[in-house]
């Protein structure tokens, strides 16, 4: 009986997909030539940036393509999506990092929406060595622009330089990126994401991956780009993005630090839509024919007033939640003591004369000389992604995670301040060697608590999702 129900649901997805008449990609140009004075904005290897990485030792190549098409913005209704603004033209870009030798390709593609503010790509920073060691392909897709501050995008009015990812790319290399075009209506981002994914899994001659066999495409993103995934699934865009045989374009999602509990954790569908209120049923993760893993830190969990979606091994609605204490939001994905220019894109901007005081205003979180925490968040993220990868490829259900424990709507903590429950790293379980080290550890927890207060105020803002 369970099998027939699942089959019926998949058939319904396929029928829904084939009966939709959607706009699409009309042109793909590239790979775009690079050279002196003609660089990719957000390239992987930028000298002087600590998060830079050379692709050469991994025998990987980096390419950029420009994708043009038309897409629509929608509004929510009880009967599903309703078209609000139809067939808006756009030209955006994707960055492709893949093995030079096609025979090394594993069949797995990691797809990351680029943050609409200054081009942040946290999924790449945390996964780069992991995915290249396995022969996976990485795609960064630009699906928004924050200069107007619409549709949940951060907006900083007192700036002299551009902040939106499209606008800033054109500022960085005006000639290279002259053709980029993004409408003021940010709501097209969801359909554009599905269009790009569909193109990358097509047999079209202009598909940059047309000569490769893609077994699975996994979406990953953090904070704002994690919220994009939640809306993409809940509002029906996942159901619409289908392969010719009815299977989904995206097989799995890693929704990073984008909780349904914090105000910007669910983005508007179009520019002028108010944020969906915390507690609204629209925020509850819907069942989909894809595997979904949510990765949360204590700064998201402590905002919660209701349970997260339950773990499930089902074919429709496969889901896991992993909660990690001792870290907050994205602050420990990489070394938080590194300066702002650790990110390659930021190094590029500063070298081109971008005003340093107008960089992302949440970056003071990353500028303390002391580490916020010795818990290696990135390592656990890679473990979660590997669980998702194996779940999609081999059907191997990952271990379930214990939730962080709450007491009176606050995190329950042990005698030295470590949170109870959640993922249990060695830093929580193994006693430190001496009193001095223990004292230092408590100091670190104090700093983490201080920054959590800072981040919490930012997370509750309806205009900021880092």
Are 77 and 38 within 8 A, CB to CB? Answer: no
Q: What average pLDDT does the segment 107-112 reach?
A: 98
The rounded distance, in Å, linking the Cα atoms of 454 and 425 is: 24
- The radius of gyration of the chain's CA atoms, rounded to the nearest angstrom, is 21
Residues counted in the chain:
466
- pTM of the predicted model over 0.85: yes
Write the pLDDT tens digit of every residue in 37-81: 899 999 999 999 989 999 999 999 999 999 999 999 999 999 999
Within 8 A by CB and 6+ apart from 431, the residues are: none
Structure tokens at 81: 């999506």
Residue 454, pLDDT score: 36
Which of 281, 306, 111, 305 shows the shortest CA–CA distance to 199?
A: 111
Residue 41, pLDDT score: 97
Is pLDDT larger for residue 372 or for residue 29? 29
Residue 321 within any structural domain of the chain: yes
Least confident of 139-148, 243-252, 357-366: 357-366
Residue 315, pLDDT score: 92
Q: How far is CA 448 from CA 300, 328, 349, 368, in A?
A: 14, 8, 29, 11
Write the pLDDT tens digit of every residue in 187-213: 999 999 999 999 999 999 999 999 999
Strand ranges, E, within 44-99:
60-75, 82-99
Write the pLDDT tens digit of every residue in 315-324: 999 999 999 9
Confidence of residue 305 (pLDDT cuts 50, 70, 90): low
Residue 320 within any structural domain of the chain: yes
Is pLDDT larger for residue 97 or for residue 341? 97
Residue 357 within any structural domain of the chain: yes
Residue 385 within any structural domain of the chain: yes
Q: Which residue range forms the structural domain that includes residue 280?
A: 2-459
Are 111 and 217 within 8 A, CB to CB? Answer: yes
| Phi-psi map region of 135: left, alpha, beta (phi>0 left; psi -120 to 50 alpha) | left
Write the pLDDT tens digit of every residue in 369-411: 566 788 899 999 999 999 999 999 999 999 999 999 998 888 9
Residue 111 within any structural domain of the chain: yes
The rounded distance, in Å, linking the Cα atoms of 316 and 2 is: 11
Cα distance from N-terminal residue to C-terminal residue, the chain? 44
Backbone angles phi, psi at 102, to 5 degrees: -60, -25
Residue 466 within any structural domain of the chain: no
Residue 12, pLDDT score: 47
Within 8 A by CB and 6+ apart from 359, the residues are: 118, 340, 346, 349
Q: Is there a cis peptide before residue 430, judged by omega within 30 degrees of 0?
A: no
Residue 465 within any structural domain of the chain: no
> What is the rounded average pLDDT for all residues in the chain?
85
Least confident of 134-138, 164-168, 437-441: 437-441
* pLDDT > 90: percent of the chain: 65
Q: What's the total number of domains in the chain?
A: 1
The rounded distance, in Å, linking the Cα atoms of 305 and 118 is: 32
CA-CA-CA-CA torsion for 399, 261, 219, 184, nearest 10 degrees? 180
pLDDT at 442 over 70: no
pLDDT at 448 over 60: no
pLDDT at 365 over 90: no
Structure tokens at 306: 């209701």
Confidence of residue 287 (pLDDT cuts 50, 70, 90): very high
Strand-strand pairing, 216-222 and 108-114: parallel
Is pLDDT larger for residue 448 or for residue 164? 164
Count the neighbouring beta carbons within 10 Å of the beta carbon of residue 82. 10
Write the pLDDT tens digit of every residue in 274-285: 889 998 999 999
Residue 18 within any structural domain of the chain: yes
């Amino acid at each position: 009986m369970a099998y027939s129900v699942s089959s019926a649901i998949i058939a319904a997805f396929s029928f829904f997909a084939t009966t939709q008449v959607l706009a699409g990609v009309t042109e793909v140009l590239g790979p775009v030539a690079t050279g002196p004075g003609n660089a990719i904005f957000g390239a992987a290897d930028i000298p002087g940036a600590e998060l830079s990485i050379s692709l050469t030792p991994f025998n990987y190549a980096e390419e950029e393509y420009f994708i043009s098409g038309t897409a629509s913005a929608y509004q929510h209704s009880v009967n599903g999506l309703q078209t609000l603004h139809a067939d808006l033209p756009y030209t955006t870009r994707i960055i492709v990092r893949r093995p030079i030798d096609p025979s090394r390709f594993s069949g797995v593609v990691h797809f990351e929406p680029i943050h609409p503010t200054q081009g942040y790509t946290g999924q790449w920073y945390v996964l780069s060595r992991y995915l290249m060691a396995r022969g996976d392909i990485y795609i960064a897709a630009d699906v928004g622009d924050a200069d107007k501050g619409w549709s949940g995008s951060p907006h900083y009015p007192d700036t002299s330089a551009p902040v939106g990812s499209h606008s800033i790319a054109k500022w960085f290399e005006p000639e290279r990126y002259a053709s980029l075009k993004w409408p003021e209506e940010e709501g097209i981002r969801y359909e554009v994401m599905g269009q790009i994914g569909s193109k990358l899994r097509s047999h079209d001659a202009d598909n940059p991956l047309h000569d490769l066999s893609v077994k699975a495409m996994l979406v990953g993103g953090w904070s704002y780009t994690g919220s994009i995934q939640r809306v993409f699934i809940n509002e029906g865009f996942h159901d619409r993005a289908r392969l010719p045989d009815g299977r989904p374009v995206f097989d799995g999602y890693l929704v990073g630090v984008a909780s349904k509990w914090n105000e910007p954790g669910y983005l508007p569908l179009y520019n002028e839509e108010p944020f969906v209120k915390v507690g609204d049923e629209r925020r509850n993760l819907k069942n989909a024919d894809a595997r979904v893993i949510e990765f949360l830190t204590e700064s998201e969990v402590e905002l919660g007033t209701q349970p997260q979606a339950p773990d499930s091994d089902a074919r429709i609605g496969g889901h896991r939640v992993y909660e990690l204490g001792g870290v907050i939001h994205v602050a420990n994905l990489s070394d938080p003591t590194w300066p702002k220019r650790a990110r390659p894109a930021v190094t590029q901007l500063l070298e081109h004369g971008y005003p340093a005081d107008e960089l992302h205003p949440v970056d003071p979180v990353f500028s303390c000389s002391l580490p916020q925490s010795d818990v290696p968040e990135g390592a656990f993220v890679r473990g979660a992604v590997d669980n998702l990868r194996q779940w999609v490829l081999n059907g191997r259900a990952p271990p379930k995670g214990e939730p962080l424990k709450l007491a009176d709507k606050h995190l329950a903590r042990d005698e030295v301040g470590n949170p109870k429950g959640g993922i249990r790293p060695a830093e929580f379980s193994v006693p430190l060697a001496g009193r001095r080290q223990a004292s230092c550890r408590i100091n670190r927890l104090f700093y983490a608590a201080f920054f959590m207060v800072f981040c919490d105020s930012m997370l509750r803002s309806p205009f900021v999702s880092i």
